[in-house]
Amino acid sequence: MPHVEIKIYKGRTEEQKQKCADMVAKALSESLGCNLSSVSISIKDIEPDKWKEDVYDKEIINSKTLYKKPGYSYDK
């Protein structure tokens, strides 16, 4: 505990993903008071044209557990 799945636009390098995972793991360990060895992070690449359908609509817009809301919307 904890496990985090990060979804990002496809195109980041493995080095960028690893740096992100390391930084998020450290922040989680410090903020939640758990051992760094207890943290796991996965990163999933999402095609930009699938973001709204696969992420925004399904996981962001109606989430009751979203603690950090995005600064964008798909409202017209």
Angle formed at CA 66 by CA 64 and CA 67, multiple of 5 degrees? 125
Cα 73 off chain centre by: 17
Is 48 an annotated catalytic residue?
no
Query: Choosing from 2, 9, 26, 40, which is the catalytic residue?
Result: 2
CB 6 within 8 A of CB 20: yes
Query: So which residues are the catalytic ones?
Result: 2
